[in-house]
Amino acid sequence: MTLPYPATYYAQSLTESRARPALHGVEEADVIVVGGGLAGLVTALELARGGLKPLLLEAQAVGWGASGRNGGIVSPAFACGSEDIAARVGVEAARALHRLTIEGVDRVRGYIRDLDIKGADPISGLLNLRRFDRADDLHAYAAEFAQDFGYELTYLDRAAIRERLVSDRYFHGLADAQAFHIHPLNYLRGLASELERLGGRIYEGSPATQAQFKGAQKVIKTAQGEARGPRVVFATGGYTDGLVPRLKRAVLPIATYMMVSEVAPDLIASAIRTREAVLDDRRASDYYRVIEGGNRLLWGGRITTRAASAAGVAQELRREMIGAFPQLAGLRTELSWSGQMGYARHLMPQVGVMEPGAWHITAFGGHGLNTTAVAGKVLAEAILGESDRLAMFAGFGLDWAGGPLGLVAAQATYWKLQAQDWWRER
């Protein structure tokens, strides 16, 4: 059976490709999890580790959405900036939330190590670079991180950057040695295998068609079966449909784009001399990294509120790549693809209680690798009665995202931020 993944580099380089059956008939479970991305899988895995028997329903195949086709960078951050978080919940609560993102990075590293996930291929290092000539705030940011979190970021001047990247595009940057990058789909499928080893059940090709979750007994129906149990978790994201209208109203689907190059190690090395991942500090940043030991270049960027042609947007990504590295003009693109991220209006993950015995975990806004690892753990702790850390997300509820007007506003904000970035660079 062929897995229904879209054509991406990750889908073409799976270490295993076992398909899972669809749900047929009636199945009972301790917890029903709707959604087989990272948020659903981590939550289900941690529930299984806590002694429960979860049942997970996935409409396509595990990791079919943004969880399995993203940039693969694991670093401590939310989509929402620290000042905006503090304005909403206070400085101390904002710091506590950021500590969660650091814990999330450690948890991803721990999952890969402890489960011996083949093909996740973690590579250390992230360069966060700036395309205009200002550095005072970067020094302050690094000092604040060291003081508040004991987290070391190393300042890079232009000469230090040029030792790694043969480009005139970048002026200043911060190097994060604790961040890393991975093959996200192999990582995710490793989590799925461990969930099953612990007794969890995963049903693929089983989109939920009806959700009854306001009574003591929760029922999730699919085309050919139904799952029943006392608890349910809705773990959707950029592909949230109308199953739970309140969730759909709270999430904006935002598309982003990626491409992978041909095999050309010598040409790539003429421009990029580091295994560290790279991103710039614009709102819609370029992010890229060499893969396969330097044989290929993976490049991502751009955001749109309506899905555009991945092949068409790849031309824009190529212009960005060649603008930074003119020597890569002859580097051919072998494949391009897109994916939809889930964003909340407040740009923070939405993790909490919907009804007694029903929870939601969604809207990771392009920062899902580390934040799903810790948010899924925190949600599982709440369901298992192990901690009250779920309350840390209480300030970021299921705010209405604005519907079609919300998408228009998001696109307008993006254009505004692009203009600001353009002006700063000039």
The DSSP bridge partners found for residue 280 are: 129
8 Å CB contact between 84 and 97: no
Residue 115: C-alpha distances to residues 33, 45, 119, 185, 387 (Å): 22, 12, 12, 15, 24
Q: How confident is the model at residue 413 (pLDDT cuts 50, 70, 90)?
A: low
Please write the tens of the pLDDT for every residue from 169-215: 999 999 999 999 999 999 999 999 999 999 999 999 999 999 999 99
Q: 80 burial class (0-12, 13-18, 19+ CB within 10 angstroms)?
A: buried
Q: Please state, as a whole number, how many other Cβ atoms lie within 10 Å of the Cβ of residue 207.
A: 15
Query: pTM of the predicted model, to two decimals?
Result: 0.94
pLDDT at 297 over 90: yes
Given a cut of 80, is residue 257 above it in pLDDT?
yes
pLDDT for the residue 200: 98
Q: What pLDDT is attached to residue 50? A: 98
Torsion, Cα 40 410 397 211, to 10 degrees, reads -50
| pLDDT tens for each residue of 40-58 | 999 999 999 999 999 999 9
Mean pLDDT of the chain: 93
Least confident segment among 156-160, 224-228, 249-253: 249-253
Cα–Cα distance for residue pair 107/102, rounded to 1 Å: 9
pLDDT band at 302 (very low <50, low <70, confident <90, very high): confident
- Residue 412: pLDDT band with limits 50, 70, 90: low
pLDDT at 258: 94
Residue 307: is its pLDDT beyond 80?
A: no
Average pLDDT over residues 28-45: 98
Distance CA 169, CA 315 (A): 19
Contact in structure between 252 and 52 (CB atoms under 8 Å): no
Check whether 371 has a pLDDT greater than 90: yes
Predicted confidence (pLDDT) at residue 421 exceeds the cutoff of 70: no
Compute the half-sphere exposure of residue 27: CA atoms within 13 Å on the CB side of its CA. 25
Q: What is the reported pLDDT for 325?
A: 98
Supply the pLDDT for residue 405: 64
Instruction: Determine the pLDDT at residue 333.
Output: 96
Distance of CA 233 to the CA centre of its chain: 19
CA 425, CA 15: separation in Å to the nearest integer?
42
Residue 90 has pLDDT above 80, yes or no: yes
| pLDDT computed for residue 407 by the predictor | 59
| The pLDDT of residue 415 is above 60 | no
Q: How far is CA 188 from CA 255, 370, 372, in A?
A: 21, 12, 11
Q: Which pLDDT value is given to residue 425?
A: 61
Section 281-305 average pLDDT: 90
401 has a pLDDT exceeding 80: no
Residue range 323-348, pLDDT digits in tens: 999 999 999 999 999 989 999 999 99
Q: What separation in angstroms does the CA of 299 have from each of 74, 105, 106, 141?
A: 16, 22, 25, 26
